[in-house]
Amino acid sequence: MFLTAKRARSQSKRARVLQVSAGMVALGMLVAGCSGSSGSSEGSGGGGTTTLVAYTGQAGDYQINFNPFSPSQIGGGGAVYEQLFFINKAGSGDPEPLLGTEYEWNDEGTELTVKLRTDVKWTDGKPFTAKDVAFTFDLLKKTTAYNNIGYDGEAEAVDDGTVKFTFAEPAFTLGPDILGNTYMVPEHLWADVDPETFVNEKPVGTGPYKLGEFKAQAFTYVANEDYWGEVPAIKTVRFLSLSGNQAGADGISAGTIDWQTGPVPNIQNVPETYPGYDAVTVNQSQMALLTCSNEELGCTGPQTDPAVRRAIYRALDREQLNALAFQGTASEISPTFALPTNQKEMISSSVSEPVTANTPDLAAASAELEGAGWAKGSDGIYAKGGDKLSVTVEVVTGWTDYITAVQTMAQQLKPAGIDLKVAQSSWNEWTEKKAQGKFQLAIDSLYQGSAPDPYYVYNNFFDSAGTAKVGKMAGNNVSRFSNPDVDKAIKALRGLALDDTAARQPHLDVIQKAIVEDMPYIPILTGGTTSEWNVKKFTGWPTQDNLYAVPAVWSRNDFTIILKNLKPVS
């Protein structure tokens, strides 16, 4: 693990130099390639094609937004805009150099010094320096809506190749977000823009790709031939907008899509079902019903009652959901949102159910509701104060697995006296509803943070600094959850090294007790994130034995690392 107490302290007197491996030099994400002549739309493979066609599940037209800080960005982060380091959440979590070459903490965890590459230029030819890094973090600090990492330090450009971060209190846990989860932007172009409204139609970054052609149905990136590192072998990537998961599965079957992350028929046997393709599944994204939960911040509807949220939680048949919607690829989840696989020892002993039951408990669901004053009507649906317990869940049109899941939930919740309605919309509308709090429920996933530790999920999704009143753009905390004790515990964890388990657990206990009781995000299952990719055209994909990055096409940082490892099959 990275940034542990012993390592941080023992290494504080010397710089930790991290060498870049030859195969991990060039970042890339979405690139160009519109014609079939490139070979990317041919299923036969071979020919040494350098164009890759990718599909993220985008349903509906793209709306241009390459602001790497915006929750509705469609690209930019990872490929055009680089981080200081890459951190593999599927692996050890040790940072690998990108714009940064080495870093060093002081003993107290109040100063972090980062050495930078001095041979880097922005794609407009201007030099990249430490001033750009300091500017980026100052911008993040000033823009509350985008400061999802809770950055509160002072960044100073010591010289062109050195930046120093200073904190009023120990900030070891901010290390992974600062080093590996923040994209650098050029001061000379961003100093006079409003970052909350800027859609950045002509992105200028340091990465291995540049924006090529943009259309509402597809956009492309082209390789940056002046990149500071090795220019990618994949010269173009084309991102498609289709009608949803079925269209993505059809593209894999027809050989017209080279990489997608999403369900396909017979997902457990991809090589046999789709010759020329292979697949990898990882279980990290924790599926949940996101709720607009906080009346004080403007949320309205039955879901603002914690008893309703807990009743929904109790009434779900997760075994059936996994079979019908996810082809058995999902796994168990904890109501604390600590991963049961590698974070189980961090689950509080005070939590009576550390892992969520797979079968429903309708009696417990009824007890939750009736204890909060809800009474079942003659139609079998609970009501209170003249209002029926009817809630709407938002889902993206074309996301067939999620659509099946919420439709199944609607059937499961009827015997529990809960009327669940399903509303489908484009990804853009769905994203805007979540960010502005104009929803009751939405199905989505709480992603793992910048290092494999539950702190980052708590900091990203439960810290009140990452939310806003309904009508205003929130950060990741779209539930509008706000609890001063949780905020205090999150703040305390920031000053503790990740391996200081004795000191950290009391704060984890506080957070977990509160979020299990309040349940602003209703746990469903830990999603099995499955990617299917063309092994006939390209080599270098991750495998179960070599997960050098999280294999998800929509995980921007990982996507770029995978792209720079790929080579065309000749």
Q: Which pLDDT score is estimated for 148?
A: 81
Nearest Cα neighbor of 79 from 52, 45, 58 is: 52
- Is pLDDT above 90 for 143? yes
Residues 433/392, Cβ–Cβ less than 8 Å: no
Per-residue DSSP letter, 20:
P
The pLDDT, as a whole number, for residue 35 is 30
| 8 Å CB contact between 434 and 461 | no
The better pLDDT of the pair 150, 502 is held by 502
* Distance between CA atoms of residues 463 and 477, nearest Å: 7
CB 59 within 8 A of CB 268: no
pTM comes to: 0.72
What residue type is assigned to position 411 of the chain? Answer: Q
Checking if the pLDDT of 565 tops 80, the result is yes
For tokens 């971060």, the residue is 165
Distance separating alpha carbons of residues 137 and 71, to the nearest angstrom: 17
- Per-residue pLDDT of 45-90, as tens digits, reads 445 899 999 998 887 889 999 999 998 899 999 999 999 999 988 7
Please choose, from the candidates 339, 336, 287, the residue with its C-alpha nearest in 3D space to the C-alpha of residue 453: 339
From CA 232, how far away is CA 228, in angstroms rounded? 11
What the block records as the tokens of 531 is 């990617």
Percent of the chain with pLDDT over 90: 77
Quick count: other Cβ atoms within 10 Å of Cβ 71? 18
How confident is the model at residue 47, as a pLDDT? 53
**What does the pLDDT average to over 194-206?**
96
- Distant-in-sequence contacts of 271-276, Cβ < 8 A, 24+ apart: 274/532, 276/43, 276/45, 276/534, 276/535, 276/536, 276/537
For 185-194, what is each residue's pLDDT tens digit?
A: 999 999 999 9
CATH 3.90.76.10 boundaries in the chain: 5-207+537-568
Task: State in words which class domain 283-528 has.
Answer: alpha beta
What pLDDT digit, counting tens, does each position of 281-291 carry?
988 889 999 99
- For the domain 5-207+537-568, what is the CATH code? 3.90.76.10
Ramachandran assignment for 245, one of left (phi > 0), alpha (psi -120 to 50 degrees), beta (any other): alpha
3 state SS of 308: helix
Which residues make up the CATH 3.10.105.10 domain(s) of the chain? Answer: 283-528
